[in-house]
Amino acid sequence: MKTLYCLILTVFLVTTIAWQSSGEVYSIQPIGKVVKESGNVKLEILPKYRDALKGLGDFSHIYVMFWFDKNDTPEKRAILQVHPRGNKENPLTGVFATHAPVRPNLIGLSICKIKSINGCNILVDDIDAFDGTPVIDIKPYRPGYDCIPNATVPDWVKQIHKKQPQPRS
Could you state, in order of their start, the residue ranges of all structural domains in the chain? 1-29, 30-143
Q: Using an 8 Å Cβ cutoff, are 107 and 67 in contact?
A: yes
Query: Which H or E run contains 27?
Result: strand 24-28
Q: Which residue has the higher pLDDT, 163 or 14?
A: 163
List, in sequence order, every residue forming a beta bridge with 8; answer none if it has no partner. 17
- Residue 103's pLDDT is 86
What is the predicted pLDDT for the residue at 146? Answer: 79
50 pLDDT more than 90 = yes
Residue 164 or residue 54, greater confidence: 54
Q: What is the pLDDT of residues 74-90, one digit of tens each?
A: 888 899 999 988 889 88
Q: What is the pLDDT of residue 113?
A: 97
* Proportion of the chain above pLDDT 70, given as a percent: 83
The DSSP symbol for 23 reads T
Q: What is the pLDDT of residue 166?
A: 56
Check if CATH label 2.40.30.70 holds for domain 30-143.
yes
pLDDT of residue 12: 27
pLDDT score, position 11: 29
Distances (CA, A) of 100 to 33, 57, 63, 104, 128: 20, 30, 17, 11, 11
> What pLDDT does 40 receive?
96
